[in-house]
Amino acid sequence: MEIAVEVRDLTKIFGRKIAVNKISFEVEKGEIFGLIGPNGAGKTTTLRILATILKPTAGTAKIFGLDVVKDADMVRKMISYLPEEAGVYKNLTGLEYLRFMASFHSSSEEEVQRMVDEAAEISGLGDRLHDKTKTYSKGMKRRLLVARALMAKSPLVILDEPTSGLDVMHAVHIRDIIRNYAHKYGMTVLLSSHNMLEVEYLCDRIAIIDRGKIVLEGGPSELKEKFGVSNLEELFVRVVRGA
């Protein structure tokens, strides 16, 4: 078993607020792992630390054995990160944006084109990729951004609310893509989502974080059976209310 993400006693303090409070968890290579919790629980802060955007106050986090602080440059080459509030360059067309982002991953024109072609298919935007992104709806931008995150087939993909703003049909399409890519290419996916249907469908294991602490961890089916609930939403409400 190879560990893709190893978090030990991770802590982040902003002023007097403890956003993340000594959390520990592991994600195995090839696993889809969900970090879920209410607003302000510490999910996004944790993902930003793992993406090397924030530095922890204490504790450690490693990506495939690389420390996110000491080895930040190397970690960035191993990951793709999609923030919840990510934006696109409004004066580029969808294709221009994808090509620009692909160029950060490879200097080979052939490889860049492969990534762009894959991203075009993932996005499902068709001819709209020739239009400037400032003409896109929120959902179209999100589809473009998810495609950007997946096209490089990075060893670790970090997704914060991947289907935010998407209608049901496109959300289902993106979920299927995420799951198929993870299984087909052995990619590890760490995601956060408020959509419990999405989490239950995608994730091999989950951790529920509340007020900066992990309060429960395990497989969705295992946890539902343990708590005697029929779905992950019921489990989430019961655990968070009782935390």
Average pLDDT over all residues of the chain? 94
Question: Tens digits of per-residue pLDDT, 128-142?
Answer: 999 999 999 989 999
Task: Give start and end residues of each alpha helix (H) in 51-202.
Answer: 72-76, 94-102, 109-123, 138-151, 168-185, 196-202
Question: Tens digits of per-residue pLDDT, 72-108?
Answer: 999 999 999 999 888 899 999 999 999 999 999 988 9
Domain boundaries, the chain: 3-86+155-242
What pTM does this model have? 0.93
Q: What CATH number was assigned to the domain covering residues 3-86+155-242? A: 3.40.50.300
CA distance to 97, 111, 221, per residue, from 84 (Å): 18, 27, 27
